[in-house]
């Protein structure tokens, strides 16, 4: 049954994004806020805001019972978890089911299964999705050489009992594998009392690609193309784009099929993302994990597909099924997103909450801004420091980059430092423009230089 | 001092102060001193422009963000003159009685001691007892039995001794 009143169990830009999507579908909204978010943009735009508890997330946004109680008592028949907070905690959809509230997301058992990395890998393997090539346990130097030859170099030798980087060795050929085994195994024996090793293919310059999925819960799953999120700092994404321009159409088709096969094998319901490691040199991809929620970077997929994924999520949760078939999803052009955080680059990107004293947002062809901020708005110190997402779409990657850089130059934010300066440096870097980057490029190439030229 | 030059935590504190209904807040910590006041005839300068005795630390750690004032003092509107509010600590369902059919914990006009049980707030069958922070007399019950209340919402008006 179609949702009539939707509870928004999140904050920041995604709460506002969900409210807007619901309003476009003529659905009433109730936004949950903590005491620190009483004046948030989402709270103002929604039909109603209810104060869950104090600023501390543990006593407000992260308490599933409190959240579902508030949803039920405010008469909501649907609940959108956004991303982060409780979005991938199975207890939230379980409580929703217990209280007759439609959860905008996957079934709890699927969230649980995919949240367990080993179980998710097993499910991927069963669905025929490629995993990083690896070995069983290795007990001798000769074993190491044989397995290394089979897997292909370079390989990473890891202690079976290991962790924390101890007993880890990279080997580029058979001799190194044999010698590396002796050394790492002895180290592991000393550290963990167990010298057993195993081996995985090592991809020195990998890209991070992910496929946007949407399932009806009955086994029908659509993809909305892939995203390339290789610009990362400490595993945090700074720039995301769609499509992955470094991938051939042939491989892209295989990637989409793998992601769909995996999601269909569990009758996946609602929005999700299958993440992969992309070895550009070998033109191969390996499964990493599934994120069972809408992601921060979903707008780039919306920009190239012209679908509103959050509206689609709400319709599916209301029982409407998928509104289209795969042939109706036509991807065009290129989109790039900057995740703008209030962080101080001069202080090792320390989060810098505070009040926005000036906010002149860019507009223009192909430019989209998803943000809950405005002049005078406060970024409270209790939560993440994202102030918004700037997205540029163009007919191709070059045009998207041009528009993005122009929009960054037009964007004036005062009162708090932001990551936009770094994002401009990335978007104009020759390696980024030539698209020869990988997941460690930002840390290895850009950051050591960043800020030094200007100083 | 320009507003933008204040450390972020300090500005947050001022905002919380403005919302809190508190008349005056005085903090002294080492050689740092701050007075926030809404009192017109206070001998000091207006709240936000009062200079600290010395420059505040440039990098106040985030964990030191000031705690919000007690919820009871956030609600000043609509209370009988001279009473204090007892507020809900979190969102939940308001119950005046320990169990259905039983007499309410307190009635209007009743004298209560500090720490007296006033009501229950229920979240998914988990009941939290709300106690009075002051000794005095219950002047008003501000919420209907079994209604949903929000965090910080005033439940009782109590005239303190």
Question: What's the pLDDT band for B2 if we cut at 50, 70, 90?
Answer: very low
CA distance linking residue A408 with residue A405, whole number of Å: 5
Please report, for chain A, the start and end positions of each structural domain, with discontinuous segments joined by +.
Answer: 5-104, 133-201, 206-454
Per-residue model confidence (pLDDT) at position B7: 55
Reduce the DSSP state of residue A74 to 3 states and report it. coil
Q: Over the stretch A298-329, which tens digit does the pLDDT of each residue have?
A: 999 999 999 999 999 999 999 999 989 999 99
Per-residue model confidence (pLDDT) at position B51: 37
Domain boundary among B12, B35, B63: B63
Specify the residue for token string 């769609």: A242
Q: Is the ipTM of this complex over 0.85?
A: no
Q: Over the stretch A351-375, which tens digit does the pLDDT of each residue have?
A: 999 999 999 999 999 999 999 999 9
Scanning B4-43 for CB atoms below 8 A from A yields 4, 8-9, 11-12, 15
Sign of CA dihedral A422, A424, A426, A428: negative
Helix (H) or strand (E) holding A230: strand A221-233
Global pTM value: 0.83
- Which residues of chain A make contact with B91, given a CB cutoff of 8 A? 50-53, 66, 69-70
pLDDT averaged over every residue in chain A:
95
> Looking at the DSSP assignment, which residues form a beta bridge with residue A341?
A386
Contact B90 A53 (CB under 8 A): yes
Domain boundary among B11, B42, B63: B63
Q: CB of A144 within 8 A of CB of A155?
A: no
Tell me which of A167 and A377 has the higher pLDDT.
A377
Most A CBs within 10 A among B88, B90, B127, hence the mutation to make, goes to B90
Q: Chain B closest CA to A320's CA: distance in Å? A: 30
CA distance linking residue A382 with residue B38, whole number of Å: 27
Tell me which of A40 and B62 has the higher pLDDT.
A40
Q: Over the stretch A119-165, which tens digit does the pLDDT of each residue have?
A: 898 999 999 999 999 888 898 999 999 999 999 999 999 888 776 66
* Helix, strand, coil percentages in chain A from 3-state DSSP, rounded to 5: 35, 25, 35
- Out of A183-192, A333-342, A430-439, B132-141, pick the least confident: A183-192
Per-residue model confidence (pLDDT) at position A427: 98
Active site (annotated) includes residue A293 = yes
The average pLDDT across A74-84 equals 97
Can you name the CATH fold of A5-104? Rossmann fold (3.40.50)
**Phi, psi of A442, rounded to the nearest 5 degrees:** -60, -45
Question: What's the pLDDT band for B9 if we cut at 50, 70, 90?
Answer: low
Q: Which residues contact B60 (CB under 8 A, 6 or more apart)?
A: B7, B8, B9, B10
Most A CBs within 10 A among B5, B63, B150, hence the mutation to make, goes to B150
What's the CATH number where B95 sits? 2.40.50.100
Q: Does residue B53 sit in the same domain as residue B129?
A: no
Q: Find the radius of gyration of the CA atoms of chain A.
A: 23
Q: CB of A415 within 8 A of CB of A385?
A: no
Q: Does residue B93 sit in the same domain as residue B148?
A: yes
Q: Over the stretch B51-77, which tens digit does the pLDDT of each residue have?
A: 334 444 444 333 333 344 344 444 456
Position B12 pLDDT exceeds 90: no
Closest partner residue to A66 among B8, B9, B91, by Cβ? B91
Domain boundary among B63, B81, B103: B63
Q: Does residue B129 sit in the same domain as residue B92?
A: yes
Position A383 pLDDT exceeds 90: yes
Per-residue model confidence (pLDDT) at position B71: 43
Cβ neighbours of A142 (radius 10 Å):
13
Q: CB of A265 within 8 A of CB of A127?
A: yes
**Environment class of residue B60 by beta-carbon count within 10 Å: exposed (0-12), middle (13-18) or buried (19+)?**
middle
Per-residue model confidence (pLDDT) at position B152: 94
Give the residue from A232, A309, A310 showing the smallest Cα distance to A19. A310
Question: What's the pLDDT band for B5 if we cut at 50, 70, 90?
Answer: very low
Give the residue from A435, A334, A349 showing the smallest Cα distance to A393. A334
Per-residue model confidence (pLDDT) at position A308: 98
The average pLDDT across B89-111 equals 95
CA distance linking residue A292 with residue A83, whole number of Å: 9
pLDDT averaged over every residue in chain B:
75
- Which residues of chain B make contact with A73, given a CB cutoff of 8 A? 93, 148
Specify the residue for token string 């004298």: B111
Q: CB of A163 within 8 A of CB of A195?
A: no
Question: What's the pLDDT band for A178 if we cut at 50, 70, 90?
Answer: very high
Which residue out of A17, A269, A293, A315 is catalytically annotated?
A293
CA angle A73, A83, A219 (to 5 degrees): 90
Nearest chain A alpha carbon to B60: A352
The domain in which residue B138 lies consists of 72-160
Q: Does residue B81 sit in the same domain as residue B31?
A: no
Q: CB of B121 within 8 A of CB of A96?
A: no
Share of chain A above pLDDT 90, in %: 87
Per-residue model confidence (pLDDT) at position B81: 86
Q: Does residue B44 sit in the same domain as residue B85?
A: no
Contact B8 A65 (CB under 8 A): no
Position A455 pLDDT exceeds 60: no
Query: How many CB pairs below 8 Å do chains A and B form together?
Result: 78
A11: region left, alpha or beta (phi > 0 left; psi from -120 to 50 alpha): beta
CA distance linking residue B36 with residue B62, whole number of Å: 21
Q: Structural domain tally of chain B?
A: 2
Position B125 pLDDT exceeds 50: yes
β strands within A20-111, DSSP E: 28-34, 48-53, 78-80, 102-103
Can you name the CATH fold of A133-201? Dna Ligase; domain 1 (3.30.1490)
Cβ neighbours of A445 (radius 10 Å):
15
- Which residues of chain B make contact with A387, given a CB cutoff of 8 A? none
Q: Over the stretch A91-117, which tens digit does the pLDDT of each residue have?
A: 999 999 999 999 999 999 999 999 888
Per-residue model confidence (pLDDT) at position B31: 65
Structure token pair of residue A274:
């299958």
Q: CB of A190 within 8 A of CB of A206?
A: no
Specify the residue for token string 């939940």: B92
B58 in reach of chain A (CB within 8 A): no
B152 in reach of chain A (CB within 8 A): yes
Share of chain A above pLDDT 70, in %: 98
- Out of A51-60, A133-142, A262-271, pick the least confident: A133-142
CA distance linking residue B29 with residue A281, whole number of Å: 60
Looking at beta carbons, which pairs linking A357-362 to residues 24 or more positions away fall under 8 Å?
A: A357/A414, A357/A415, A357/B3, A357/B4, A358/A412, A358/A413, A358/A414, A358/A415, A359/A412, A359/A413, A359/A414, A360/A410, A360/A411, A360/A412, A360/A413, A361/A411, A362/A390, A362/A406, A362/A407, A362/A408, A362/A410, A362/A411
Give the residue from A20, A73, A201, A393 showing the smallest Cα distance to B149. A73
Q: Over the stretch A236-252, which tens digit does the pLDDT of each residue have?
A: 999 999 999 999 999 99
User: To which CATH superfamily is domain A206-454 assigned?
Assistant: ATP-grasp fold, B domain (3.30.470.20)
Position A87 pLDDT exceeds 50: yes
Q: Does residue B53 sit in the same domain as residue B83?
A: no
């Amino acid at each position: 049954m179609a949702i009539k009143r939707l509870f928004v169990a999140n904050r920041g830009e995604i709460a506002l994004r969900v409210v807007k999507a619901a309003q476009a579908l003529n659905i009433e909204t109730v936004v949950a806020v903590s005491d620190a978010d009483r004046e948030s943009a989402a709270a103002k735009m929604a039909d109603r805001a209810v104060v869950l508890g104090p600023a501390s997330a543990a006593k407000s946004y992260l308490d599933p019972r409190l959240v579902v109680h508030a949803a039920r008592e405010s008469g909501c028949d649907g609940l959108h978890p956004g991303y982060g907070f409780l979005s991938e905690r199975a207890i939230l959809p379980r409580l929703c089911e217990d209280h007759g509230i439609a959860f905008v997301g996957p079934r709890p058992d699927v969230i649980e299964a995919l949240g367990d990395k080993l179980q998710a890998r097993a499910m991927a393997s069963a669905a025929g999705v490629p995993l990083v090539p690896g070995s069983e346990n290795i007990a001798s130097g000769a074993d190491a050489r044989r397995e290394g030859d089979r897997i292909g170099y370079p390989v990473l030798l890891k202690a079976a009992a290991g962790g924390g980087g101890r007993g880890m060795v990279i080997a580029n050929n058979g001799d190194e594998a044999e010698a590396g085994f002796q050394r790492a195994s002895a180290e592991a024996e000393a550290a963990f009392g167990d010298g057993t090793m195993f081996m995985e293919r090592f991809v020195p310059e990998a890209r991070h690609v992910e496929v946007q999925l949407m399932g009806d819960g009955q086994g029908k799953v659509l993809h909305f193309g892939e995203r390339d999120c290789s610009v990362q700092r400490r595993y945090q994404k700074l720039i995301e784009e769609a499509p992955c321009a470094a991938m051939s159409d042939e491989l892209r088709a295989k990637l989409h099929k793998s992601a769909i096969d995996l999601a269909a094998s569990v009758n996946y319901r609602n929005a999700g993302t299958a993440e992969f490691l992309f070895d550009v040199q070998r033109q191969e991809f390996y499964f990493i994990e599934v994120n069972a929620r809408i992601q921060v970077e979903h707008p780039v997929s919306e920009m190239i597909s012209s679908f509103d994924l959050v509206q689609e999520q709400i319709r599916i949760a209301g029982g409407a099924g998928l509104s289209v078939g795969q042939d109706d999803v036509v991807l065009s052009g290129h989109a790039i997103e900057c995740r703008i955080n209030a962080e101080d680059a001069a202080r090792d990107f320390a989060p810098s909450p505070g009040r926005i004293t000036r906010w002149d947002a860019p507009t223009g062809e192909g430019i989209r801004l998803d943000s809950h901020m405005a002049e005078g708005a406060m970024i409270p110190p209790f939560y993440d420091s994202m102030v918004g997402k700037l997205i540029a779409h163009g007919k191709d990657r070059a045009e998207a980059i041009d528009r993005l850089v122009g929009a960054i130059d037009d964007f004036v934010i005062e009162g708090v430092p932001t990551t936009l300066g770094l994002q401009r440096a990335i978007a104009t870097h020759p390696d980024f423009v030539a698209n020869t980057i990988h997941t460690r490029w930002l840390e290895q190439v850009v950051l050591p230089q960043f800020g030094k030229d200007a100083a | 001092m320009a507003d933008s030059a204040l450390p972020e935590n300090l500005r947050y504190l001022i905002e919380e102060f403005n919302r809190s209904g508190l008349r005056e807040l005085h903090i002294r910590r080492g050689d740092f001193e701050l007075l926030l006041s809404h009192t017109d005839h206070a001998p000091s300068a207006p709240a936000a422009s009062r200079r600290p005795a010395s420059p505040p630390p440039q990098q106040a750690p985030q964990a030191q963000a000031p705690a919000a004032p007690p919820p009871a003092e956030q609600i000043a509107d609509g209370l009988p003159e001279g009473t204090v509010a007892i507020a809900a600590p979190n969102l939940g369902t308001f119950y005046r009685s320990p169990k259905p059919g039983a007499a309410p914990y307190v009635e209007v006009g009743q004298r209560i001691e500090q720490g007296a049980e006033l009501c229950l707030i229920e979240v998914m069958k988990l009941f939290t007892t709300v106690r009075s922070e002051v000794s005095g007399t219950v002047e008003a019950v501000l919420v209907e039995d079994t209604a949903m209340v929000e965090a910080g919402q005033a439940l009782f008006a109590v005239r303190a001794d």
